Structure 1
């Protein structure tokens, strides 16, 4: 069945973060010409047991190599037809954001860069998309799970540090989700490294 997902060769055996037997379970979702965000979401929700939303059509930038940049005055460079101004252009087809709704601070920490679940997430997403998309991960936490940074407690600067809540913020719905952080997958590095 792994032949359907394109990773049936001996070169792929035992190289992925997610075990090969687990990946075979997801073959029906990975099979098909169209890789929809619905199938990606289903696969990730089943694997991790958390609610995950896939946001499509996120604006990103396409960088043009120097040899592909337009030059006024040359043939085939007509303004309004085939001329590109600048070194990059906006696109809405090259990037997605995965919104992971974590139930607790421990679950949130497991999805931070360098952790096991983040490596599994990256492995599954790159296996599904082929690495052709930019992927950001937004981690969400219930408001009650976010505590202010204080002396004598463990906090990770930039990941789990927050300002203490004011009295007015404390009256807000504590079940409401708050975007705790957002980071991008490093697509330049091999996904087998888990970074």
Structure 2
């Protein structure tokens, strides 16, 4: 246990201090940052696992635009001409939790075996250090720290595993949102499906035109149930009132028409107020399902609205969709009055066990976002 006003050092941090050469450089930086917690400029906060009352103030990410004094680690470069056996030479934790640790690296220094400056500069550097004159090293480490910090920053930008923010808030997450059509904050958090869960399917959502196979893959992965798309399911479309066929109208009627409209036989005339479109309908056959999973997709159930949001987000809303729920034949409940039976949804009138899976329950997904029962 830690003494009064002191923190307990986690075993991983202690191992990093005692044997830093066993750690990858980038992973060591990540461990140090997460041990302090991070405070991002965009308001994000990643806290460490310490007690909030005794934890140190959060650090700023290494290499970003924050105050370097608030970073979790301060880099210095080893000026030795010896062949480097590891990326990290040593690590010293600060005596106070709000101060950065000090890490000596064996790469990217201005002088030393891998430094860009002439060898004579390194020799003079080492000669002064032998006389206990560390002014040169302190001066060079101003630039060494910034160079190494920028390398950490660049590495994070191209390695998702090193990003300390939640994945959907990091740079890669913003790129994926842009691919999906959710690049601006005003377009996000408008669906019942969490935007973060859709990032997994950015590779499917970026394609135009989108395919039935892509919808099947995304649906099955997200909901964990079988689904297939049945295409070219005909559907009725209602005509707007101004598209109806009129043979004639008297003056003074609404619209002020004095003659007919949309009445050219074989061209614009339509008998009725709706028309049949064979290729505008798509049916999602979901299942076979257990009874518990079946109930989750009914109107008002947890998976109902996410089903609507995902389908309308993936495919243009001019299409009409129906979702057909397939219940396993051995899961069809017996008919009983009372209880939680729902007329038209979970009530089956039958005196014999069904011979096949039930496919009678159908949900219509309309383009205006309404869910109704046919």
TM-score bucket (shorter structure)? 0.7 to 0.9
Does 2:362 correspond to 1:188? no
Q: What pairs up with 1:2-151 in 2 under 5 angstroms?
A: 2-71=177-246, 77-151=263-337
**Structure 1 residue 69, shift from structure 2 partner:** 2.5
Within 1, Cα distance between the matches of 2:262 and 2:330?
59
Give the Cα separation in 1 of the matches to 2:362 and 2:262: 41
* Higher RCO, 1 vs 2 (CA within 8 Å, ≥6 residues apart): 1
Gaps of 5+ in 2: 1-175, 248-258
Name the SS for the 1:23 alignment partner: helix
Per-residue CA deviations over 1:59-91 (Å, capped at 9, x if unaligned) read 111222122223458698532234333322110
Q: Aligned partners of 1:151 and 1:82: how far apart in 2?
A: 53
| TM-aligned CA distance change 1:79 to 1:107, over 3 Å | same
Secondary structure of 1:116's counterpart equals coil
SS at match of 1:26: helix
Aligned counterpart for 1:177 among listed residues 334, 353, 357: 357
Partner Cα distance (2:272, 2:337) in 1: 49
The separation in 1 between residues aligned to 2:333 and 2:241, in whole angstroms, is 48
Structure number with bigger Rg: 2
Give the structure-2-normalised TM-score. Answer: 0.45
Deviations 1:131-179 (A, max 9, x none): 221111110011110022124654222211112432xx56x3xxx3211
Gaps of 5+ in 1: none
| TM superposition score normalised by structure 1 | 0.83
The answer to which of 77-86 and 106-115 deviates more is 77-86
